[in-house]
Structure 1
Amino acid sequence: MLSVPRMRILLELRRHGTLAEVAYILNYTPSAISQQLSALEAETHVALTERVGRGLRLTRQGEILANHAEIVIAQLEQAEAELAASLGEVGGRMRIACFQSVLLTLVPETLTLLAQRFPELQIEVTQYDEPDAVGGLLSHEYDLILGEEYPGQPIRGSAGIEWDLLTLDPLRAALPMSGPWSDPRAVLAGLASAPWVLENESSAFGRWAIALMQEQGFTPHVPFVSTDILLHLHLVETGHAVALVPDLLWLSQTPRVRLVPLPGNPQRRLLTGVRDGSGGHPAIVALRQALRDVTDELHHRANSPAAPPV
């Protein structure tokens, strides 16, 4: 019988390409990972990897076994989920990872709702910058992650993950309330010379933002680069920059910037992701439902007649 932990090491090697990365993810030493791969090759009587430069890649036989490893591990995840569901209880520990706008807006009320519904369920939350969360989910560091997709920027590295749409989130330009960059008629091409605050182009948001502006005929001047959406807003509020922001931020606070629609009215897709096979776990079902309920309630409040216009 082949060793499932060793098959998982092979699968992680296919995802990451180096012993050092696999060792870091699985909390082993590189030499221990190498020994486990050698033992797996002894079990199968075939070479499963070959060296390419400083990394390793799977042989044809290694790819075959890794494909089966995905199926086996997903099946075990499903078995654990069904066992937990059979107990009829929601408890234990759930570790989630999310980006800043979700952490600011959705997570606090979700935690409150879950504490009311399932007091035995413990939630741990980590803020992340992409692509950390995908690797953390697949390596069992997290149980559920929040992901975001921008137009033309699908989530990367999502093999082995079940994604579920949480909501669609419109994106707008954020301008200062006064000053040279406050005219809403300037969006978007009229802001070609404005100072922008954006995320780095290595992020999905940064790539999308740059592509959007290039479609409008200009490459933005970006003196401020940060993943901190609160810093983006502060720079806009104080008149030092303009930005692109999601409507999600305004579901729980009043805008202090001028919000203007963008060409084509783009939206990002907010998703929840779990490992293949684990979606039926009662704690994950409860967590996803609470996120949906909170999102719907916040949208309802924001769209009520008493709510300030966005």
Structure 2
Amino acid sequence: MDGVKGMYNLRRLEVLRELKYRGTLAAVATAMSYSPSAVSQQLALLESEVGAPLLEREGRGVRLTPQAEILVARTEKALRELERAETEIAASLREVSGTLRVAAFQTAMLALLPAALTWLREHHPRVRVEATQAEPDTSLPGLLTRDFDLVIDETFPGRPRPARASEVEHHPLYEDAMRLATPAPVAAVAELAERPWVMEPAGTPARAWATGVCHAAGFEPDVAYVSADMLTHARLVERGHAVAFLPDLLWYDRTPRLALDTSAVHVRTVLATVRAGAGEHPLIRTFLAALGYAVGRLPARTG
């Protein structure tokens, strides 16, 4: 035996982990504020430390070797332990302070974030929130790569997200009704088989759910308009150009000028998602309290 090698460099292990999630050296360089050559150098040094190849060529890109996958899995555990240490240290301090990076989809950004920020300003002025509007398909991977600390996420009826119990934890916030929105009242979804629809982009959970509701009613929806912007959806319905499913969160501060079906309401779950073990961090707990305040200020709706 040649003897036990020294401890691996954590920063280099993080570079390897970033490569697993981001896929290219260029993306890792951008995320970590390195040059691509510096990323390559860090990986080469890590290979030298490990004494085994960590990358294999795959077409024009690279993929991780089995040895690299072992390192990434252990790096994940090490980072979770460091995050727990950060939580314990923060909890030992008298005043909650620091920066929290949050991502939220549009209607949550509009309806919940301003009230949450107001509560924080009054009760925890040393907490800084940096918020980005992003759909969950984009923001959840960003949570795992530590671009965000908390993501306001959504799940639709019958379409749960893939289980990631070892990676994330969920904190339910609000049950948000998804109502059929039309220029004038209709009796059932099936009556809209010949009408143009506005829906979210293909491949999103919202689009899959809405299409599934139409299929269950016996027709393929004519999706004439595509937008991730719920305000655009509402405007097209109000002007008589389309029909849609719209969330109650959209009406947090105004009265809808269209017909909303209250007879057959579907409900999406709005939740806050954080990395596993991070839920006890004082910054996370404080922001969850702020979100609870914001939810409590939402107007009551029936149906």
Structure 2 length normalisation: TM-score?
A: 0.90
Distance 1:55 1:262, change over 3 A: farther
Q: Is the 8 A contact 1:77 1:276 kept in 2?
A: no
* CA distance in 1 between partners of 2:263 and 2:201 (Å): 20
* CA distance in 2 between partners of 1:49 and 1:261 (Å): 55
Unpaired stretches in structure 1, ≥5 consecutive residues = 177-181, 304-308
The residue aligned with 1:200 is 201
The residue identity in structure 2 corresponding to 1:173 is L
Note the 1:1-12 alignment, pairs <5 A.
1-12=7-18
SS in structure 2 of the partner of residue 302 of structure 1: coil
State the 1:261 CA deviation.
4.2
Q: Is the 8 A contact 1:147 1:155 kept in 2?
A: no
* CA distance in 1 between partners of 2:179 and 2:104 (Å): 21
The residue identity in structure 1 corresponding to 2:99 is R
* CA distance in 2 between partners of 1:257 and 1:105 (Å): 19
Does 1:280 pair with 2:287?
Answer: no
- Per-residue CA distance 1:206-238 (angstroms, 9 max, x = gap): 122112212222111111111111111111111
The residue aligned with 1:266 is 266
The residue identity in structure 2 corresponding to 1:114 is L
Q: Is the 8 A contact 1:130 1:203 kept in 2?
A: no
Alignment root-mean-square deviation, CA = 2.1
Unpaired stretches in structure 2, ≥5 consecutive residues = 1-6
SS in structure 1 of the partner of residue 198 of structure 2: strand
* CA distance in 1 between partners of 2:33 and 2:204 (Å): 26
Q: Is the 8 A contact 2:21 2:145 kept in 1?
A: no
Q: Is the 8 A contact 1:100 1:229 kept in 2?
A: yes
* CA distance in 2 between partners of 1:113 and 1:226 (Å): 32
* CA distance in 2 between partners of 1:279 and 1:72 (Å): 17
Distance 1:296 1:20, change over 3 A: same
* CA distance in 1 between partners of 2:61 and 2:213 (Å): 36
SS in structure 2 of the partner of residue 267 of structure 1: strand
* CA distance in 1 between partners of 2:152 and 2:59 (Å): 35
Q: Is the 8 A contact 1:25 1:139 kept in 2?
A: no
Which residue of 183, 186, 205 maps to 1:184? 186
Q: Is the 8 A contact 2:106 2:133 kept in 1?
A: yes
* CA distance in 2 between partners of 1:29 and 1:215 (Å): 51
Q: Is the 8 A contact 2:168 2:275 kept in 1?
A: yes
Comparing 12-21 with 100-109, greater Cα deviation is found at 12-21
Does 1:31 pair with 2:50?
Answer: no
Structure 1 length normalisation: TM-score?
A: 0.88
The residue identity in structure 2 corresponding to 1:97 is A
